[in-house]
Amino acid sequence: MLQQILFLSTLVVATYFIRRRINFIAGAIRLGKKTVVDSDPRRIRNLLLVAFGQRKMFVKPIAAFMHLLIYAGFILINIEVLEFIIDGLLGTHRVFAPVLGQAYPILMNMFEWLALGVLISCFVFLARRHLIKLPRLNSPELTRWPRMDANLILVSEIILMLAIFTMNAADQILQGRDSHYTASGSLVLSSLLIPFLENFSTTSLVVIERSAWWFHILGILGFAVYVTYSKHLHIFLAFPNTYFGKLEPKGQMTGMPVVTAEVKSMLGLEPVVAQPPSEPGRFGAKDVIDLSQQQILSAFACTECGRCTAECPANLTGKKLSPRKIMMDVRDRAEEVQQGKSIGSTAYETKSLLGDYITKEEINACTSCNACVEACPVLINPLDIILELRRYVSMEESGAPASWNAMYQNLETSFSPWKFSPTDRFNWNENQNKS
Amino acid sequence: MKSVSTLAEFAARGEQAELLFWVGCAGSFDDRARKVTKAITLILDAAGIRYGVLGTEENCTGDPARRAGNEFLFQMQAVNNIQVLNGYGVKKIVTACPHCFNTLRNEYPELGGQYDVIHHSTLLQQLIDEGKIRLQEGGTFKGKKITYHDSCYLGRANSIYEAPRAVLQALDAELFEMKRSRAKGLCCGAGGAQMFKEPEKGNKDINLERTEEALATGSGTIAVACPFCMTMLRDGVKAKEKEQEVQVVDIAELVAASLKAS
Determine the pLDDT at residue A329.
98
pLDDT of residue B226 exceeding 50: yes
Q: Give the dihedral of Cα atoms B210, B214, B216, B217; nearest 10 deg.
A: 150
Locate the domains of chain A by residue range.
Answer: 2-242, 249-269+282-400
The share of chain A scoring above pLDDT 90, in percent, equals 83
Distance (Å) from the alpha carbon of B190 to chain A's nearest alpha carbon: 6
Q: What is the mean pLDDT of residues B89-112?
A: 98
Q: What is the mean pLDDT of residues B96-102?
A: 98
Mean pLDDT of chain A: 93
Q: Which of A50-59, A371-380, B208-217 is least confident?
A: A50-59
CB atoms within 10 A of CB A343: 8
Determine the pLDDT at residue A275.
61
pLDDT tens digits, A359-375: 999 999 999 999 999 99
pLDDT of residue A431 exceeding 70: no
Domains B7-125 and B135-258 share a fold: yes
Nearest 5°: phi and psi at B145? -85, 120
Chain B residues touching A387 at Cβ < 8 A: 67, 69
Of the pLDDT bands very low, low, confident and very high (cuts 50, 70, 90), residue A377 is very high
Contact A320 B201 (CB under 8 A): yes
pLDDT tens digits, A5-33: 999 999 999 999 999 999 999 999 999 99
Q: Report d(CA B57, CA B203) in Å as an integer.
A: 42
Distance (Å) from the alpha carbon of B129 to chain A's nearest alpha carbon: 26
Contact B65 A408 (CB under 8 A): yes
pLDDT of residue A276 exceeding 60: no
Determine the pLDDT at residue B3.
82
Contact B69 A418 (CB under 8 A): no
Determine the pLDDT at residue A30.
97
On whether any CB of chain A is under 8 Å from the CB of B113, the answer is no
Q: Report d(CA A262, CA A17) in Å as an integer.
A: 48
- Best probe of the A interface among B38, B43, B70, by most A CBs < 10 A, is B70
CB atoms within 10 A of CB A145: 14
CB A34 within 8 A of CB A293: yes
Contact B202 A318 (CB under 8 A): yes
**Closest alpha carbon within chain A to B184:** A371
Locate the domains of chain B by residue range.
Answer: 7-125, 135-258
Chain A residues touching B3 at Cβ < 8 A: 429, 432-433
SS3 state at B89: coil
Distance (Å) from the alpha carbon of B180 to chain A's nearest alpha carbon: 10
Per-residue three-class SS string for chain A: CHHHHHHHHHHHHHHHHHHHHHHHHHHHHHCCECCCCCCCHHHHHHHHHHHHCCHHHHHCHHHHHHHHHHHHHHHHHHHHHHHHHHHHHHCCCCCHHHHHCCHHHHHHHHHHHHHHHHHHHHHHHHHHHHCCCCHHHCCCCCCHHHHHHHHHHHHHHHHHHHHHHHHHHHHHHHHCCCCCCCCCCCCCCHHHHHHHHCCCCHHHHHHHHHHHHHHHHHHHHHHHHHHCCCHHHHHHHHHHHHHHCCCCCCCCCCCCHHHHHHHHHHCCCCCCCCCCCCCCCCCCCCCHHHCEHHHHHHHHHCCCCCHHHHHCHHHHCCCCCCHHHHHHHHHHHHHHHHHHHHHCCCHHHHCCHHHHHECHHHHHCCCCCCHHHHHCCCCCCHHHHHHHHHHHHHHCCCCCCHHHHHHHHHHHHHCCCCCCCHHHCCHHHHHHHHC
Chain A residues touching B28 at Cβ < 8 A: 416, 420, 425-428
Determine the pLDDT at residue A328.
98
CB A69 within 8 A of CB A121: yes
Contact B107 A318 (CB under 8 A): no
CA angle, A107 then A111 then A117, to 5°: 145
One-letter amino acid for residue B170 of the chain: A
Q: Report d(CA B207, CA B213) in Å as an integer.
A: 10
Nearest to B72 among A250, A395, A423 (CB): A395
pLDDT tens digits, B158-183: 999 999 999 999 999 999 999 999 99
**Closest alpha carbon within chain A to B5:** A429
Chain A residues touching B159 at Cβ < 8 A: 249
On whether any CB of chain A is under 8 Å from the CB of B178, the answer is no
| CATH placement of domain B135-258 | 3.40.50
Contact A369 B187 (CB under 8 A): yes
CB B152 within 8 A of CB A314: no
pLDDT of residue A216 exceeding 90: no
The share of chain A scoring above pLDDT 70, in percent, equals 97
On whether any CB of chain A is under 8 Å from the CB of B241, the answer is no
Nearest to A252 among B71, B107, B202 (CB): B107
- Pairs of CB atoms within 8 A across A/B: 223
**Closest alpha carbon within chain A to B72:** A259
Determine the pLDDT at residue A274.
60
**Closest alpha carbon within chain A to B180:** A311
Contact A374 B184 (CB under 8 A): yes
Q: Report d(CA A121, CA A127) in Å as an integer.
A: 10
**Closest alpha carbon within chain B to A385:** B69
A40: left (phi over 0), alpha (psi -120 to 50) or beta: beta
Chain A residues touching B102 at Cβ < 8 A: 249, 251-252
pLDDT of residue A1 exceeding 80: no
Of the pLDDT bands very low, low, confident and very high (cuts 50, 70, 90), residue A435 is very low
Pick the CATH number of B7-125 from 3.30.70.560, 3.40.50.1860, 3.20.20.70, 3.60.9.10: 3.40.50.1860
Q: Report d(CA A265, CA B79) in Å as an integer.
A: 11
The winner for highest mean pLDDT among A72-86, A257-271, A292-306 is A292-306
- Choose among B193, B232, B198, B197: nearest CA to B62: B193
Q: What is the mean pLDDT of residues B220-233?
A: 98
CB B228 within 8 A of CB B255: no
pLDDT of residue A303 exceeding 80: yes
- Best probe of the A interface among B42, B197, B213, by most A CBs < 10 A, is B197
pTM of the model: 0.95
Q: What is the mean pLDDT of residues A133-150?
A: 94
- Best probe of the A interface among B4, B29, B54, by most A CBs < 10 A, is B29
Of the pLDDT bands very low, low, confident and very high (cuts 50, 70, 90), residue B137 is confident
Chain A residues touching B194 at Cβ < 8 A: 367
Question: What architecture does CATH give domain A249-269+282-400?
Answer: Orthogonal Bundle (1.10)
pLDDT of residue A279 exceeding 80: no
On whether any CB of chain A is under 8 Å from the CB of B5, the answer is no
Chain A residues touching B201 at Cβ < 8 A: 318-320, 361
Q: What is the mean pLDDT of residues A48-70?
A: 94
Chain A residues touching B84 at Cβ < 8 A: none
Of the pLDDT bands very low, low, confident and very high (cuts 50, 70, 90), residue A168 is very high
CB A407 within 8 A of CB B64: yes
The residues in B 187-206 lying below 8 A from A, measured between CB atoms, are 187, 189-206
Of the pLDDT bands very low, low, confident and very high (cuts 50, 70, 90), residue A36 is confident
Cα(first)–Cα(last) distance of chain A, in Å? 99
Chain B residues touching A417 at Cβ < 8 A: 25, 60, 64-65, 195-196
Q: What is the mean pLDDT of residues A173-187?
A: 89
**Closest alpha carbon within chain A to B107:** A252
Q: Report d(CA A357, CA A332) in Å as an integer.
A: 9
pLDDT tens digits, B109-130: 999 999 999 999 999 999 999 9
Q: Report d(CA A111, CA A104) in Å as an integer.
A: 11
Determine the pLDDT at residue A270.
77
Q: What is the mean pLDDT of residues A204-233?
A: 92
Chain A residues touching B34 at Cβ < 8 A: 428, 431
Q: Report d(CA B167, CA A151) in Å as an integer.
A: 50
pLDDT of residue B203 exceeding 80: yes
pLDDT of residue A186 exceeding 80: yes
